[in-house]
Structure 1
């Protein structure tokens, strides 16, 4: 990516997403491949009168730790990381993997020990301002089936960085999404239908959140937390699901009284079942999201982008977002995408509000 484009990206993260102010301590965490964006963010933070803290991971070290550390080491909480999460003012997390399959060699049970132990760190960090973005690496481009140059162009378009006023574009998307939220706020029951999917759930009394690029960059969705005991029916993922370095294909779940009661997958079923049994909350839904970004129109294998595909629905197993009113707790938060763009629809309190990926109310109607 050009220096000018990287600088525009950094300005968007620092000003629009985090709203960095003088005197603040801003953590910038990434991998080596994202060095140009890390440096641009560092400079942008300094020029705003704030203090940057940089944390760079080296390829392979996390995998080595998970493979070779003792169980006591895995279950420990790094005190410096906890203190840092509690005391910083904001965090920029830049994903930049050089090998998206490296974690497939890790025993999920060992990863689960680390996730549970470090949950206090994640909770402390979530109470501060944060933004997550993803730097275009060759590994991500390969997963998307694109050349690196084409993938960089796709990333640029998805964040509106190719427009004269990216901030204005994000603000306009936020206004359109607010219109859909105004409608959904009065809805009690939602039914989602697509190939292999017929799922009904309640969102009565829950709060819808407008995700307009402040925390995820790119974004373009609205989401809420469904009533934990309400999901009934079946769900089939329209795309492969990439998690923990693994690709799962053909995930199909059956829900009763809000809980997954049966699960299968054409590929990766053992891993699916291990995640569902991770803890008491991993078989319940913690999120219902509606993808609304018109610049994200294809599957790439990266959930940061794919869950925002315009005209899709995603449902996350596990942890709820408290700001939605959701109360489900889990160390898992796993987004599963339902493609409603061909032959799918969403019904709200008996009224068809989205059909074949086109919204008939709110933002698009």
Structure 2
């Protein structure tokens, strides 16, 4: 897991996405199965995509549907092979100062700070130990996705619940009713 701050190669710390409430990680490229629904519209290349969902099998988006802008959504996940896999899982509490503003900017860089979100496309190498110094091939060998694109879309809602499963099979609530359980 990482947060909004980063360190450049020259050692200078910065926050590229501010303000931010998110913590994020990279999912295992082939580790997602199921259906995911958007919680807010997505604007991609100036096109509004709304009320959309994906069907995912072994990490790959195998179906994409939208009430508005479906053709743009399908184009976005077809940029390259990696665009149809996920690269980010970000947790953002629903009850946060940014979310509580109830403003939809129609700009993902702003809107993502008010909602849990996922991204299809490129994964951030910094999400694995030593990832920033690995080659692309090494990062991919560790299960992270590579793509020329990285598109965030919001999934957080007031009733979102997330349960984590530990290595020994215990289930632990992470989010209850849109907010951290801890």
The offset of 1:219, in angstroms, is: 1.7
Match of 1:318 among 84, 104, 121: 121
Q: Distance in 2 between matches of 1:358 and 1:279?
A: 34
Larger strand fraction of residues: 2
Q: Deviations over 1:41-78 (max 9, x none)?
A: xxxxxxxxxxxxxxxxxxxxxxxxxxxxxxxxxxxxxx
Equivalent pair of 1:255/1:262 in contact (CA under 8 Å): yes
Q: Distance in 2 between matches of 1:281 and 1:355?
A: 31
Match of 2:149 among 306, 319, 332: 332
The residue number in structure 1 matching 2:176 is 355
**TM-score normalised according to structure 1 size:** 0.40
Secondary structure of 2:76's partner? helix
* 1:98-177 aligned within 5 A: none
The residue number in structure 1 matching 2:73 is 272
Equivalent pair of 1:296/1:305 in contact (CA under 8 Å): no
4+ aligned runs moved over 4 Å, structure 1: none
The offset of 1:250, in angstroms, is: 1.1
Match of 1:303 among 98, 108, 115: 108
Secondary structure of 1:235's partner? strand
Secondary structure of 1:339's partner? coil
Q: Which has the larger radius of gyration?
A: 1
Q: Distance in 1 between matches of 2:42 and 2:28?
A: 24
**TM-score normalised according to structure 2 size:** 0.77
* 1:1-365 aligned within 5 A: 208-212=1-5, 214-292=15-93, 294-297=96-99, 298=102, 299-309=104-114, 312-325=115-128, 327-341=144-158, 343-349=159-165, 350-361=171-182
Count of aligned pairs between the two proteins = 151
Equivalent pair of 2:86/2:118 in contact (CA under 8 Å): yes
Secondary structure of 1:227's partner? coil
Equivalent pair of 1:218/1:304 in contact (CA under 8 Å): no
Secondary structure of 2:48's partner? strand
Q: Distance in 1 between matches of 2:47 and 2:41?
A: 10
Equivalent pair of 2:92/2:156 in contact (CA under 8 Å): no
The residue number in structure 2 matching 1:35 is none
Q: Deviations over 1:334-362 (max 9, x none)?
A: 11111231x2201111222211122111x
Note the aligned Cα RMSD (angstroms).
Answer: 1.6
Q: Deviations over 1:106-157 (max 9, x none)?
A: xxxxxxxxxxxxxxxxxxxxxxxxxxxxxxxxxxxxxxxxxxxxxxxxxxxx
Q: Distance in 1 between matches of 2:180 and 2:16?
A: 24
Q: Distance in 1 between matches of 2:179 and 2:72?
A: 34
The offset of 1:280, in angstroms, is: 1.0
Q: Distance in 1 between matches of 2:21 and 2:174?
A: 18
The offset of 1:295, in angstroms, is: 2.0
Secondary structure of 1:307's partner? helix
Structure 2 stretches lacking a partner, 5+ long: 6-13, 129-138, 166-170
The residue number in structure 1 matching 2:168 is none
The offset of 1:332, in angstroms, is: 1.2
